[in-house]
Amino acid sequence: MKILVLNSGSSSLKYQLVESETEEVLAKGIAERIGLPDGALKHESVVLDCKSRTIEADIPDHDAAMDLVFQVLTDPSDGAVSHPSEISAVGHRVVHGGEMFSAPTIITDETLAEIDKVSGLAPLHNPPNLMGIRACRRLMPGVPQVAVFDTAFHSTIPKHAYVYALPYELYTDYGVRRYGFHGTSHRYVSGRATKLMAARGADPAALRVITCHLGNGCSMTAVVGGKAADTSMGLTPAEGLVMGTRSGDIDPAILLFVQTEMGMTPGQVDDLINKESGLLGVSGKSSDMRDIEAEAAAADQRSALALEIFCYRVRKYIGAYAAAMGGLDAIVFTGGIGENSPTVRAKTTRGLEFIGVRLDPQRNQTARGESDISAADAPVRVLVIPTNEERMIARETAEVVTGGQGRDLQAAS
């Protein structure tokens, strides 16, 4: 079964064609600058020795982007498919499912309406996700479309961890609660960690794991027995860790202060916490951790401070989640920073020896791919596991269309 995985952004459309039985990637690519000048589709055919090419074209909308994707996937020289009808299903990443969706879901008119209802909670993500879905439904009538939600993995978080201490009516009437994001990534890497730990004799049902998805966006999840117990992002992706341009946790009264003292509009405040803060705001130099580390090594004090704040925040969450779970068996680092920065991993875990976390400096420095970077005798294992959200989306899409897993509607209470 060939599954097309789509991740639609406001001006981009990423895709992978996956053979579900083997989970082999047959082709992948991205349509960039949708609705903007200088549009292009960058395509790589994995089945043909990673043959790659770029098609420059006007891409006015997501329909045109999908036309280009089909053009390259069905090109006889590519070898991926000879006709779109060979694609058995399409799996769409959808960022926010609200409380309605706690599992991957076949897309119907009702599903689209429900996704649209919660778009206000993810205004930068859900609308383009919907555009990609609608384009596929028009261009591939009859082909099952499945929504895989970033928020779904977090649906097992208990009520005492997701309800904010605000007037309760904000939750019941407006859906103000912790939802969490990066769920597909947290599900994938926690599953891999469970398999690795089970091979060492651990009981999967009792395993306590903290997954750290560290990239331009960052989040952490406490996972007990394979199920999410708490997560750092909240109603929106702005809560929690320090990120590339997002502030993460702050005193909410700061927002009122800057509105009053600086005369900011709500839109300007939103830009402040989502686009002007984080590593960029503190360093004044960059939102990219690679730049921050280089500047810190060159004795730039603000970049060094940004690095320390970033790692300190992760370390605090590790301690908090270890306490919430009543112990800790493994920490997983994933995402662009988590997978590639020995410095961040070392600074983040330094001082956690009292809960059994000790790194092997050499293993940490040379880690590539799936790696155990713990000291040999450390009771808590520290793992580096590259995330693969597309594989998880393909896997869950295949399960839905073959009847392995269906829609699960979780009612608010």
- In DSSP notation, 287-321 reads S-HHHHHHHHHTT-HHHHHHHHHHHHHHHHHHHHH
pLDDT confidence of residue 405? 47
Domains of the chain: 2-149 (3.30.420.40), 201-389 (3.30.420.40)
d(CA 28, CA 24): 11
Q: At 402, give phi and psi (nearest 5°).
A: -95, 5
Neighbours of 408 (CB within 10 A): 13
75 flagged as catalytic: no
Q: In terms of Cα–Cα distance, which of 223, 230, 234 is closest to 178?
A: 234
pLDDT tens readout for residues 18-76? 999 999 999 999 999 998 899 999 998 876 666 788 999 999 988 899 899 988 888 87
pLDDT confidence of residue 410? 33
pLDDT tens readout for residues 148-193? 999 999 999 999 999 999 999 999 999 999 999 999 999 999 999 9
pLDDT confidence of residue 48? 62
This prediction's pTM: 0.89
Those residues whose C-beta lies under 8 Å from the C-beta of residue 170, and which sit 6 or more positions away, are 164, 176
Ranges of residues in the chain with a pLDDT under 70 are: 47-50, 79, 404-413
Q: What's the full length of the chain, in residues?
A: 413
pLDDT confidence of residue 406? 43
pLDDT confidence of residue 287? 95
Q: In what order do the strands lie in the sheet with 2-8?
A: 51-56, 40-45, 24-32, 12-19, 2-8, 87-94, 145-149, 105-106
Query: What would the two tokens of residue 403 be?
Result: 């009847």
10 Å CB burial of residue 218 (0-12, 13-18, 19+) is buried
- Do the beta carbons of residue 90 and residue 144 sit within 8 Å? yes
d(CA 275, CA 292): 17
Exposure pattern of 103-142 as b/e (b: 16+ CB <10 Å)? bbbebeeebbebbeebbebbeebbebbbbbbbbbbebbee
DSSP 274-292: HHS-HHHHHHSS-S-HHHH
d(CA 4, CA 145): 10
pLDDT confidence of residue 319? 98
- Do the beta carbons of residue 211 and residue 136 sit within 8 Å? no
DSSP letter, residue 21: T
Annotated catalytic residue within 49, 58, 150, 251: 150
